[in-house]
């Protein structure tokens, strides 16, 4: 805080934190550019996922031969039988190994499928008759000689909805939610400045959170950040890291897939202990409506902050997001760790959609929490870092809690 901030006649003003406001403006600019990029991606024809490459068999000598033939299919059948035999009996070194499925003089080659071709379009976004035909039976089943149960299930129209939901809707909306939150918070810092301790620091401390409370908070926070960063690599890795090279995405992806599972148990432990410690203090009361109506007193340096006990309505919203949102994440996450143990394919698709959708929302919400707990509010970080806050901070933000605490300690 600057001297000028403290010397103002009306108490400390948020706008006096010039350095913070410049940083906020620069950060807002960066987020604006990222949002513009995301908006461009959203309306770009390339925004939806569609098949880009197709395989076909061609003759090694004369390109243009379609390559399908009785011989190839017989070979494939023989090979399939061998696989099934081995699946049931285990390795049989003496068994005669059939030749390759493709004759020696044929080879497979890849070719581009032009975008916006009728076939690609219909696959990507079926409409009208095509959509109703695809959705009516729920699944399109044929015959297959491949040795696994769902090989004969050629198409599940719900899988198309799942793909569109996951890779198009949630991915893009999630990016907009996260970047949008970053922009709003940066703009708030730039325009409003920090929420100050208006009376300045008193120099007298009051204990706000005990050791167990703070440890649980940081345990959950570290686990959440670990899960969020690894989850972002899993969800957005191709966009963010593939431009840096295959190996970068490969390595990051490998560690992120592991890390995403490794941080999960401590995250669950954290929200379970938090729920046990803080649920009572976070039940909604009449004070909360008043607090929300006044915007928590965050948007202006004039007039008093609305009164609150240990937790104000904003903190309660963060608490319930963490506990309820976290519970949904744990339930869907464990479901994804044990695929098909208690859900079928449709259930797994829903688990993934819910997991991803809630995840991006939680990341956006907790960006807000991290902001207000650090740069957004003077003196807030001390509550979780050392456990003691300045009395003036407590009086401005949690006056009822401070009075109750003083009364309790005075009565001792």
Partner 1 sequence: MKAFLTGAAVAALGAGLTFVGLVTFDQSTAERYQDGSVILLDHATSWDTD
Question: Which positions lie near partner 1, rule CB under 8 A?
Answer: 79, 82-84, 86-88, 91, 97, 144-152, 211, 214-223, 226, 258-259, 261-266, 269, 384-387
- Least distance to partner 1, CB of residue 276, Å: 16
Nearer Cβ to partner 1 (31/263): 263
How many other C-beta atoms can be found within 10 angstroms of the C-beta atom of residue 73? 12
Give how far the C-alpha of residue 58 lies from the chain's centroid of Cα atoms, to the nearest Å: 43
Nearer Cβ to partner 1 (42/261): 261
DSSP 161: H
Nearer Cβ to partner 1 (36/92): 92
Burial of residue 270 (number of CB atoms within 10 Å: 0-12, 13-18, 19+): buried
Nearest to 372 by CA among 294, 288, 314: 314
Nearer Cβ to partner 1 (41/213): 213
Nearer Cβ to partner 1 (79/139): 79
- Produce one character per residue of 8-40: b if its CB has 16 or more CB atoms within 10 Å, e if not: eeebbbbebbeebbeebeebbeebeebbeebee
Nearer Cβ to partner 1 (186/332): 332
- Least distance to partner 1, CB of residue 290, Å: 32
- The Cα–Cα gap between 316 and 299 comes to 19
CB 155 within 8 A of CB 140: yes
- Least distance to partner 1, CB of residue 223, Å: 5
- The Cα–Cα gap between 195 and 188 comes to 10
Nearest to 291 by CA among 313, 259, 264, 276: 313
- The Cα–Cα gap between 43 and 35 comes to 12
- Least distance to partner 1, CB of residue 387, Å: 7
- Least distance to partner 1, CB of residue 318, Å: 17
- Least distance to partner 1, CB of residue 262, Å: 4
Nearer Cβ to partner 1 (98/307): 98
- The Cα–Cα gap between 403 and 393 comes to 13
DSSP 340: T
Nearer Cβ to partner 1 (74/406): 74
- Least distance to partner 1, CB of residue 83, Å: 6
- The Cα–Cα gap between 365 and 181 comes to 8
Which H or E run contains 160?
Answer: helix 157-163
- Least distance to partner 1, CB of residue 335, Å: 17
Nearer Cβ to partner 1 (148/299): 148
- Least distance to partner 1, CB of residue 182, Å: 24
Contacts of 339 (CB under 8 A, 6+ apart): 348
């Amino acid at each position: 805080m600057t001297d000028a901030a403290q010397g103002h006649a009306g108490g400390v003003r948020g706008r006096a934190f010039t350095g913070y406001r410049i940083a906020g403006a620069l950060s807002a600019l960066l987020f604006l550019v990222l949002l513009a990029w995301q908006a461009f991606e959203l309306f770009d024809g390339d925004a939806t996922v569609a098949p880009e490459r197709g395989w076909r068999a061609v003759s090694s000598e004369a390109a243009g031969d379609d390559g399908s033939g009785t011989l190839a299919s017989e070979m494939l059948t023989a090979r399939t039988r061998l696989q099934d035999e081995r699946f049931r009996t285990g390795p049989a070194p003496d068994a005669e190994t059939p030749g390759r499925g493709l004759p020696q003089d044929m080879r497979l080659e890849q070719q581009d499928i032009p975008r916006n071709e009728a076939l690609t379009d219909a696959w990507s976004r079926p409409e009208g008759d095509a959509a109703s035909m695809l959705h009516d039976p729920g699944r399109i089943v044929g015959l297959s000689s491949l040795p696994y149960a769902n090989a004969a299930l050629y198409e599940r129209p719900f899988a198309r909805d799942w793909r569109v939901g996951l890779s198009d809707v949630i991915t893009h909306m999630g990016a907009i939610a996260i970047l949008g939150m970053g922009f709003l918070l940066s703009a708030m810092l730039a325009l409003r400045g920090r929420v100050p301790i208006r009376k300045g620091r008193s120099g007298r401390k009051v204990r706000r959170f005990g050791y167990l409370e703070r440890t649980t908070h940081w345990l959950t926070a570290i686990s959440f950040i670990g899960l969020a960063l690894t989850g972002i690599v899993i969800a957005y890795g191709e966009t963010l890291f593939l431009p840096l090279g295959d190996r970068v995405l490969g390595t990051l992806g490998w560690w992120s897939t592991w890390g995403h599972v490794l941080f999960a148990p401590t995250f669950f432990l954290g929200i379970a202990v938090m729920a046990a410690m803080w649920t009572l203090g976070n039940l909604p009361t009449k004070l909360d409506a008043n607090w929300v109506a006044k915007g928590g007193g965050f948007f202006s340096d004039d007039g008093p902050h609305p009164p609150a006990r240990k937790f104000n309505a904003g903190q309660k919203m963060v608490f319930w997001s963490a506990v309820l949102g976290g519970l949904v994440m744990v339930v869907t996450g464990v479901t994804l760790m044990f695929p098909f143990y208690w859900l079928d394919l449709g259930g797994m698709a829903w688990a993934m959609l819910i997991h991803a959708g809630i995840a991006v929302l939680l990341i956006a919400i907790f960006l807000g929490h991290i902001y207000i707990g650090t740069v957004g509010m003077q003196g807030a970080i001390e509550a979780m870092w050392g456990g003691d806050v300045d009395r003036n901070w407590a009086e401005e933000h949690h006056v009822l809690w401070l009075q109750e605490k003083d009364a309790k300690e005075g009565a001792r």
